């Protein structure tokens, strides 16, 4: 499947690559990116867009994404200050990836759930080592 692209030699999985994926595909990043993709938002707007996130985690996530060039932080010197976050060009390239990821999960989740049921039924039933 997908013979359309010649697949130009997938590069090796170095520590630097893994680190980047970790920083960018982590628990909250996907949701934040996803939300910022639709429209730029302020800090507290984002908190509401991503319901379960705490201030601390949201701040950490935004800083990490900012550091990696995925989002941009714009301070409007009003009173009180307003801070707007928006996705960068680099961030949108990531969004395409995330969409692919999401489509994959949507496609395979039924199969995965089936596999899980089988596993849970035949493995978790009998205890003890599996050799």
Residues of the shown chain interacting with a copy of itself in the complex, contacts defined by CB under 8 A: 1-2, 4, 7-8, 10-13, 16-18, 20-22, 25, 27, 30-31, 34, 66-69, 73, 75, 81, 83, 90, 93-94, 96-109, 111-112, 114-116, 119-120, 123, 130-131
Residue 28 burial (CB count, 10 A): 19
The answer to whether 65 touches 53, Cβ cutoff 8 Å, is no
Query: Which entry of DNA, a copy of itself, none binds 93, CB below 5 to 8 A by partner kind?
Result: a copy of itself
The verdict on 27 binding DNA (CB under 7 A) reads yes
Query: Which entry of a copy of itself, DNA, none binds 99, CB below 5 to 8 A by partner kind?
Result: a copy of itself
Q: Chain-centre distance of CA 91, in angstroms?
A: 11
Minimum distance from residue 8 beta carbon to DNA (Å): 30
Query: From its phi and psi, is residue 20 left (phi > 0), alpha (psi between -120 and 50) or beta?
Result: alpha
For 111, the 3-state DSSP assignment is helix
């Amino acid at each position: 499947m997908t013979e359309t692209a010649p697949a130009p030699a997938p590069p090796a999985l170095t520590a630097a690559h893994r680190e980047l994926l970790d920083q960018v595909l982590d628990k909250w990043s996907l949701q934040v990116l996803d939300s910022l993709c639709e429209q730029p938002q302020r800090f507290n707007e984002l908190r509401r867009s991503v319901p379960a996130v705490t201030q601390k985690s949201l701040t950490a996530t935004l800083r990490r994404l900012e550091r990696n060039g995925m989002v941009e932080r714009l301070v409007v010197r009003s009173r009180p200050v307003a801070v707007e976050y928006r996705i960068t060009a680099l961030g949108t390239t990531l969004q395409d990836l995330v969409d692919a990821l999401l489509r994959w999960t949507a496609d395979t989740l039924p199969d995965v759930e089936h596999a899980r049921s089988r596993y849970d039924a035949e493995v978790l039933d009998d205890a003890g080592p599996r050799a």
